[in-house]
Structure 1
Amino acid sequence: MLKSDLPPSYEESRQQSYGPEQHGNHPYPPYAYPAQPGVYTGPGQPGIHPQAGLWQGPVYSPSAMPSTMPSFITPGMFSSNPIDTEGISSPSLWDSKSIRHAFIRKVYLILAAQLFVTASIIAVFAFVEPVRLFVIQNPAIYWASFPVYLVTYLVLVCCEGPRRRHPWNLVLLLIFTLALSYMTGTISSYFDTKAVFLALGITAIVCVIVTIFCFQTKVDFTSCTGLLCALCVVVLVTGIITSIVLSFQYVPWLHMLYGACGAIVFTLFLAYHTQLLIGNRANAISPEEYVFGALSLYVDIVQIFIFLLHITGSSSE
């Protein structure tokens, strides 16, 4: 058998396929390192450096490398449109406009329902003459609702658990609303119908003006907590003096002065609690506290109505 009929050796077959060996018998197959202009193709071309982002090795391809963050950390997690869920208290989430608007919308929907119930009960006590006369003749009815009002108010204000636990927070808020509405209705029954209508109208105008002002102004009422506490003490002292004086002799101007002081102070409290809802002031309410936000605004509005009722009722006599 001739030597040309023999199959080629291993070295000869490698030389035929890849060309002559280079650099210590380490071949560089063309399919592994394709020659590209300006791209590093191995030690066979010294002096040529790869451009940033163009190197392609034999093992890793660009499609195999992660081009984004892992799925558990995505850009949408901290976007401006997170899901509105219970228990969100992170400052980054609170700064989101969608979370803030959803929270404000929820608070004002609850407040609207409370005011509707209160206005309906006041209308019954003010316009149904048998009910009005019965309440005037039996003042113990008013004091019977006071313990219910006080207990539910203290639970909602002082106990964070019941205030945040659904649906018990709404149940307590409903009981509180019915109790305060009943008390406000019994107070309204002692005044003339015209005075009740006038107080309702002035209260509605004041609340709308204060709400619009708080959303537009740069004045921060949430940083004036000390001043509001001092004004509360002034109203308390004025109320005690007024009660003592009126128990001996009725003085219309003193009654109106007490009503004016109380209406002014609770108007400031309405501005304070409204700005707590906005969230871009020195202090803010957490989005979890929608019950506390609605409770605060509701108490402020009812108190403004009661103090204005003292003014309108005294002026009509």
Structure 2
Amino acid sequence: MKIDLEVSEPIDFGSGDHQHLVRKAIDDKNQEKSHRSYGTSPSSGPQKTRGNPRSKSGEPSDNYVVQISDETTPERSTSLSSPFADTSIRRAFIVKVFLLLSVQLLITGAIISVFLFCKALRVWVVKNPWFTYAILPAFFVVFIVLACCGKLRRQVPANYILLGLFTVLQGLLLGTVSVFYNAEEVLWATAATALVTLSLTLFALQTKWDFTLLNGMLFVLLFVLIIYGILLIFIRSYWLHLLYAGLGTIVFSLYLVMDVQLMVGGRHHHSDLDPEEYVFAALNIYMDIINLFLFILQLIGLGR
């Protein structure tokens, strides 16, 4: 027996909404047959048919016709609506981040070189500490604007101007720090930072471990590191300073791996960056490298 059933609305087969429609169609068919049997004469006997009894040319065939809307599941629709579903968009995002990061590191290295190899400037910075204290407020203001004002860091050319200003201020601060170290120590720290950064970046791109899950734990470690650093202002201990430098190197090494995986995205659990957040991604990786450089420089200075 075949029954015509046409459904004009989408049906959720998982919830059993289709069953009452099928029962209704069967009941209508049975009522129609009962009306037919009442309408025929009782004297009419059984009729013999030849061939296939199911194929009756006089009777219309009863078919089930169910129209099901092709709807995607929530997970699938979410993945398809992601801006990074297209690999070309993700590739362009990564290229922008690495280009900005390269320019930032070149500008920072050039500024540090001026402070490092210009003896007159080194002497002037040591004799005038107000220069460092004057840079710090401007540095933190630009940093807070870039970190908190999401709309502003997506607007061109305001995002590039702010990022360039931040890079120059960061370079000046690093220059004032480098005058208290020998040129050899700064160069060794720069080489070590470059080697560690390259190794960790390759590791983050190749490993199957998802470091983005460590975001909360790394934030706690960073908070502990800040409190530890404040205490060391009042405590003069070689081993405590050495432990602080080692802990800072480990924390920002993990942050570098995590931020690279956030930028690359893909199979990682947390990869919710927007394609327009290339400035924010470059800023995060840049700060990881700078902090890694500072802690490695401190380790080399304590070791010598």
Which of 84, 95, 105 does residue 94 from structure 1 map onto? 84
For residues 135-214 of structure 1, the aligned pairs below 5 Å read: 135-214=125-204
Which of 245, 248, 251 does residue 265 from structure 1 map onto? 251
**What whole-Å deviation, never above 9, does each CA across 1:20-58 have from its counterpart, x for those lacking one?**
xxxxxxxxxxxxxxxxxxxxxxxxxxx9xxxxxxxxxxx
- After TM superposition, the score normalised by the length of structure 2 is 0.71
Task: Find the aligned partners of 1:160 and 1:93 in 2 and give their Cα distance.
Answer: 17
Task: Find the aligned partners of 2:288 and 2:86 in 1 and give their Cα distance.
Answer: 27
Task: Find the aligned partners of 1:92 and 1:235 in 2 and give their Cα distance.
Answer: 36
Give the conservation status (yes or no) of the 8 Å contact 1:256–1:314: yes
Structure 1 vs Structure 2 CA RMSD: 1.5
3-state DSSP class of the match of 1:160? Answer: coil
Quote the residue 2:240 is aligned against: 254
Say if 2:288 is the partner of 1:300.
Answer: yes
More helix by share: 2
- How many Å apart are 1:303 and its aligned residue? 0.6
- How many Å apart are 1:299 and its aligned residue? 0.7
For residues 208-247 of structure 1, the aligned pairs below 5 Å read: 208-246=198-236
Which of 263, 267, 274 does residue 277 from structure 1 map onto? 263
Relative to structure 1, the CA distance from residue 131 to residue 307 in structure 2 (aligned partners, 3 Å threshold; closer, same or farther) is same
Give the conservation status (yes or no) of the 8 Å contact 1:270–1:297: yes
5+ residue gaps, structure 2, are 1-56, 58-78
Give the conservation status (yes or no) of the 8 Å contact 1:95–1:279: no
- How many Å apart are 1:219 and its aligned residue? 0.8
Task: Find the aligned partners of 2:130 and 2:241 in 1 and give their Cα distance.
Answer: 23
3-state DSSP class of the match of 1:179? Answer: helix
For residues 53-72 of structure 1, the aligned pairs below 5 Å read: none
- How many Å apart are 1:144 and its aligned residue? 0.8
5+ residue gaps, structure 1, are 1-46, 48-88
> Which amino acid in 1 is paired with 2:212?
T
- After TM superposition, the score normalised by the length of structure 1 is 0.69
Identity rate, percent: 40
3-state DSSP class of the match of 2:276? Answer: coil
Task: Find the aligned partners of 2:164 and 2:302 in 1 and give their Cα distance.
Answer: 32
3-state DSSP class of the match of 1:283? Answer: coil
> Larger C-alpha radius of gyration, 1 or 2?
1
- How many Å apart are 1:200 and its aligned residue? 0.3
> Which amino acid in 1 is paired with 2:221?
L
Task: Find the aligned partners of 1:194 and 1:116 in 2 and give their Cα distance.
Answer: 19
Relative to structure 1, the CA distance from residue 201 to residue 241 in structure 2 (aligned partners, 3 Å threshold; closer, same or farther) is same
